[in-house]
Amino acid sequence: MRCAGIDIGSRAIKLAVVQNKAIAEYRQTDTGYDPMAAARRLLEGLFYDCILATGYGRGQFEVDFDAPTVTEIKAHAAGARFFFPEAVTVLDIGGQDSKAIAMNTVGKVVKFEMNDRCAAGTGKFLEIMARSLGFNLEQFASEALLAEKDIQINSMCTVFAESEVTSLVARGENRRNIALGLHKSVVRRAAGMLRRVSNDGPVVFSGGVAKNRCMQRLMEDTLQQPILTAKDPQMTGAIGAALLAGDRIGG
């Protein structure tokens, strides 16, 4: 039985196929201006027996493809446990929102918190801040790791933070130090969410922002414990959805 999971995010659409509880294949594409058209292209030539959608675009996928859906919370919890069976907490930071998820010892979600009302603390925030400093995302992380000190950013509102960064650059502040300060501002927000939902156990970092090496290191320093990150952390939700699709039909 081949079961597919599709995670329709604000920045990218991820697709995974699971067969016999193992990953058979996965694909990814930019969401673009027409998510459903992008989803159709991603599904072309793909063989699967069932599919389950998650992500912010799951509602439209349900209508257009007559497919069931699952919340991102459950999908990321299932995907995190697939990679790390010992995990009891998940931090998912994607392009549009961030989530802290607590699970019990069998992987059931028991508590969660989301930041979905503004871009603060999300991949979009980091993307805009990187651009304001003249970096791409990879440079943004690597340059921050080379900083001698961090410059505290007072605002987490994207508009005000961008203005603050512009002023700091104009004053001649080191861009590396500003970059580190921006990363630390996101980490403080994420760590606060994690502490409110769970105080112990291994933490899995999922979502596209988990590929940021500076974020990984700062999260470990802040939480004072290792952070578990899959090779392709942005695929966690799609893989979780595929696994849950299989559970629904006993495949």
Residues 114 and 45 in one domain: no
What is the model's pTM? 0.92
Residues 127 and 210 in one domain: yes
Residues 194 and 238 in one domain: no
pLDDT digits (tens, 9 = 90+) for 35-79: 999 999 999 999 999 999 999 999 999 999 999 999 999 999 999
Residues 65 and 182 in one domain: no
pLDDT digits (tens, 9 = 90+) for 91-129: 999 888 899 999 998 899 999 999 866 667 788 899 999
Residues 130 and 43 in one domain: no
Residues 12 and 115 in one domain: no
For residue 55, give the nearest of 214, 238, 194, 179 by alpha carbon.
238
Is the pLDDT reported for residue 250 higher than 70? no
Specify the CATH number for the domain of residue 170.
3.30.420.40
pLDDT of residue 158: 83
Q: What is the mean pLDDT of residues 228-246?
A: 96
Is the pLDDT reported for residue 199 higher than 80? no
Residues 59 and 116 in one domain: no
Residues 49 and 110 in one domain: no
Report the alpha-carbon distance of residue 7 to residue 1 in Å, rounded: 20
pLDDT of residue 120: 74
Residues 55 and 152 in one domain: no
Report the alpha-carbon distance of residue 138 to residue 174 in Å, rounded: 18
Q: How many domains does the chain have?
A: 2
Residues 61 and 162 in one domain: no
- As beta bridge partners, residue 25 has 17
Report the alpha-carbon distance of residue 179 to residue 175 in Å, rounded: 6
Residues 131 and 215 in one domain: yes
pLDDT digits (tens, 9 = 90+) for 130-151: 999 999 999 999 999 999 999 9
pLDDT band at 168 (very low <50, low <70, confident <90, very high): very high
Residues 245 and 185 in one domain: no
Beta strands per DSSP E along the chain: 2-8, 12-19, 22-30, 50-54, 89-93, 98-103, 109-115, 203-206, 227-228
* Domain that includes residue 73, residue range: 1-84+233-251
